[in-house]
Amino acid sequence: MSPYDPSAFPPFAVTVDLVVLTVRRHALCTLAVRRGEPPFQGRWALPGGFVRPDEDLAGAAARELVEETGLCVQDPGTPAPAPGTGAHLEQLATYGDPKRDPRMRVVSVAHLVLAPDLPAPRAGGDANSARWAPVETLLGPEGEASALAFDHAQILADGVERARSKIEYSSLATAFCPPEFTVGELRRVYEAVWAVALDPRNFHRKVTGTPGFLVPTGGTTTRQGGRPAQLFRAGGATLLNPPMLRPEV
Amino acid sequence: MSPYDPSAFPPFAVTVDLVVLTVRRHALCTLAVRRGEPPFQGRWALPGGFVRPDEDLAGAAARELVEETGLCVQDPGTPAPAPGTGAHLEQLATYGDPKRDPRMRVVSVAHLVLAPDLPAPRAGGDANSARWAPVETLLGPEGEASALAFDHAQILADGVERARSKIEYSSLATAFCPPEFTVGELRRVYEAVWAVALDPRNFHRKVTGTPGFLVPTGGTTTRQGGRPAQLFRAGGATLLNPPMLRPEV
DNA sequence: AGTGTTTATCGTCAGGAAGACGACTATGAT
DNA sequence: ATCATAGTCGTCTTCCTGACGATAAACACT
């Protein structure tokens, strides 16, 4: 058989699933929707849906994101024209185990979205309920009652690990922040994503000393209490060199 | 419409494509096959083929790899039982632009394979010709006559970039080496993949000083000429911390 | 007004890692 | 014997980080 015979191919369903991460109340949270139908009816799952015949994968992911959250995505691939605006979206990995969906053969292209803290999930489309859940809860002990549907626990774990490692060597952590933010707010993002405590003084030295990472806006804020802090925007740099080091243990 | 209605979904063809990288004569090379039929007849392309209804994505990639090269893959996920044996395989990314194949909607899950230098590509299966080509050649100037079919130039570029960055912080470079190798051979792998020159003394200090990276076998070899060099096997460590630094510029 | 608390920011110091590079060693080739 | 080639061990300087002291500027009390 020809490896590219277009007339005889096994048909697959292709979906996109979304790992939408944000930082809420010092914890890394993800968007979960409750399934309204079998299989896994009533269980939590990652948002997602079928790819349409005429859209590409990133487009399908962006569409699902708007439908579920109202969030707009910075043009993928293009360096953000207005850093801090909108969310970051990237492809995560593809999951295609023959048995991952009991009904049929579904290949799901998972995407990772990093978003600033949002007011509240609007249950758009057909999702009759949606919520931000701490990833600790969803990935907690094995066999948890709150376990995610399908292989979504694995997808979420992969997405979280991707985010954890990517903020080491890129400026992506700013995607969790509003357009203007303080060094302390950025530090709390790192602390939430890595679930560690960082030294405020060394962190400040590191981020302000990395060229192109942060651009001072001139303003200050006191919204965190304490001494007023300088406000920054994300700079043009996307890669951190040397990287931010994740503490051991 | 329900996002998971199994009865009405747009059918896609799902394929795997392989970026098989190796180091030959101090150059990073990839496996290319010549297409025997339209579209892109006579052009070079990455090896690949349809995913079968009952196999998972990594399994399809491993099967295609055996068909094309005879190469066996270490059980993916499992830490290599015999490091240096077989090839490393991992998922790279998924390409699903609606127009990427002019005939039909094809979503391709690209995989990356790192292999030691192999004798010669055996044109297995139906590939009437296959060769190792330096990635420089295939990715050279835009609009080259030798350009790859479909979006395979993009896939290859992504695979090369993945390999280049992954040998920074992992011990994956040993996947390009035979089971036993010298520090100099490993250094030449880094030099070929990164296309840079590295200081032999600092490189030696770095790799021998990283716990778990290299295990001396006791033997020595002189196959490179010059003073006999110690032979090593890949150690159990998979992550390099701190990473190997890629020289700037 | 004064005191404590919180957060931000600057500075100092010691230790580790890396780049540059000198020196020596052990082979084969001429 | 001499040279060329590769491998291996050291040294020195520089940069970065982690640990942590000290000061600054706001707010909440009393």
Q: Minimal Cα distance from B108: which residue of A?
A: A94
Pair B136, B196: CB distance under 8 Å:
no
Please tell me which residue lies nearest to nucleotide C6, judged from CA to C1'.
A226
CATH fold match for the domains A6-156 and A170-234:
no
The reply to whether residue A10 touches residue B93, judged by beta carbons under 8 angstroms, is no
Q: Minimal Cα distance from A165: which residue of B?
A: B169
CA distance B65 to A234: 43
> Between the CA of A228 and the C1' of D23, what is the distance in angstroms?
15
Looking at 1.20.58.190, 3.40.50.620, 3.90.79.10, 1.10.260.40, the CATH number of the domain B6-156 comes to 3.90.79.10
Strand C footprint nucleotides (protein C-beta < 7 Å): 5-11, 17-23, 25-28
| Closest chain B C-alpha to A138 CA, distance in angstroms | 22
The domains of chain B are located at 6-156, 170-234
Burial class (CB within 10 angstroms; exposed 0-12, middle 13-18, buried 19+) of B180: middle
Q: What CATH number should be reported for the domain whose range is B170-234?
A: 1.10.10.10
Q: What is the pLDDT along chain A (249 residues), one digit of tens a residue?
A: 444 455 578 899 999 999 999 999 999 999 999 998 889 999 999 999 999 999 999 999 999 999 888 888 865 544 444 444 579 999 999 999 999 999 999 999 999 999 999 766 665 544 458 899 999 999 987 766 678 999 999 999 999 999 999 999 999 999 999 999 999 999 999 999 999 999 999 999 999 999 999 999 999 998 888 999 999 999 999 999 999 999 987
Provide, as residue numbers in chain B, all residues whose Cβ is less than 8 Å from the Cβ of A13.
Answer: 6, 9-12
**Does strand C come within 7 Å of the CB of A229?**
yes
Tell me which of B33, B57, B92, B94 to substitute to probe the interface with A (most A C-beta atoms closer than 10 Å). Answer: B94
Model's pTM, two decimal places?
Answer: 0.92
Pair B210, B240: CB distance under 8 Å:
yes
| Closest chain A C-alpha to B28 CA, distance in angstroms | 25
